[in-house]
Amino acid sequence: MAPRSNPSERQRRLGAELRKLRVRAGLSGERAAAILDADRARISNIETGRIDVSRNRLYKVLQEYGCPPGPYFDGLMAMAQEKGTGWWGAFSDTIGPAARDLAELESRSALLRTHEPLVIPGMLQTEEYARAVLEATEGDPQRADRYAEFRLARQQVLTGASPATFRAVIHEAALHTHVGGATVMRRQLLRLMEVSRLPNVSVQVYPFEAGIYSAHTQSFVIYGGAAPELDTVYLEHPTNSLFLQDVDQLDEYAKMFERLSELALAPVDPESAPESHESRDSLSLIQHVMYAL
């Protein structure tokens, strides 16, 4: 089989992890080729995600590379078994490879942490809010409708049979930025409170008075892998979105999120009575903005 020209994020990540393990073990590409009874070019293609490696061969390689049994070992084995097929394939007519990579990444993540300074996170958007955002960025209403449908389908990771834990820190500016008009915004803010009733969802608002830390932090999502080493940071960009996997970068973004969470207001708790709010929290701020619309 000829090497693929455009490997998916999962395929690239698996290859990158194998290269990291090989280098850490002090093994050359030639030695890795000998382990698999292959040539050096095949090892290069495996490590760039251009060629798959079977589970049996991967098991042998991981043992030779000194990777101990555990979540990381099992996570790599699971990545090799996945075929990259899922509900997102139905959107291939419109949605590009990067967006489909994102949906696949979300499908295998147990924990999602996101910071949004200007808009409501996509995972929490209503259909009309999502469409208004996408119409402003896409320009083509039909294309925006298709992207909105895709975005809503992605939200199933919060409500499926094994829902992911979702933590969001949203800057207060996103609550005040009118998207689609007052009615759309009121419904969107109601949606924020409703989805926060889910036991796996936490929503915090970063208030203006907390200072400039959030303002100097771009939007990002941290996707939790089977082991911390397999976490991924996603940075959305209009022309070239990034999937970060370097250990130091992962650690930096994890610390950044925790700092944002510390500075933000207490999480939304829609079950609490208004009179129980002894101090300002995320719920009271969302309600205040909503009633002022």
Question: Helix, strand, or coil here: 212?
Answer: coil
State the pTM of this model. 0.92
Residue 4 or 264, more confident: 264
Q: Please report, for residues 179, 193, 285, 289, the alpha-carbon distance to residue 176 in angstroms, rounded to integers and kept in the order given.
A: 9, 16, 11, 7
Is residue 291 over pLDDT 60? yes
Q: Tell me the per-residue pLDDT of 43-88, one tens digit each, with 9 for 90 and over.
A: 999 999 999 988 899 999 999 999 999 999 999 999 999 888 899 9
Mean pLDDT confidence for 13-18: 96
For residues 16 and 14, what is the distance between their CA atoms, to the nearest angstrom?
A: 5
Domain segments of the chain: what residues?
A: 9-81, 97-292
With vertex at residue 106, the alpha carbon angle to CA 105 and CA 108, rounded to the nearest 5 degrees, is 70
Within 177-274, residue ranges assigned H as helices are: 182-195, 247-263
Q: Are 281 and 269 spatial neighbours (Cβ–Cβ below 8 Å)?
A: yes
- Count CB neighbours of 258 within 10 A: 12
CATH architecture under which domain 9-81 falls: Orthogonal Bundle (1.10)
For residues 187 and 172, what is the distance between their CA atoms, to the nearest angstrom?
A: 17
Q: Tell me the per-residue pLDDT of 109-151, one tens digit each, with 9 for 90 and over.
A: 999 999 999 999 999 999 999 999 998 887 778 888 999 999 9
Is residue 272 over pLDDT 70? no
Q: What's at 13, amino acid-wise? A: R
CATH of 97-292, one of 1.10.3470, 1.20.58, 3.30.70, 3.30.870: 3.30.870
Residue 34 or 2, more confident: 34
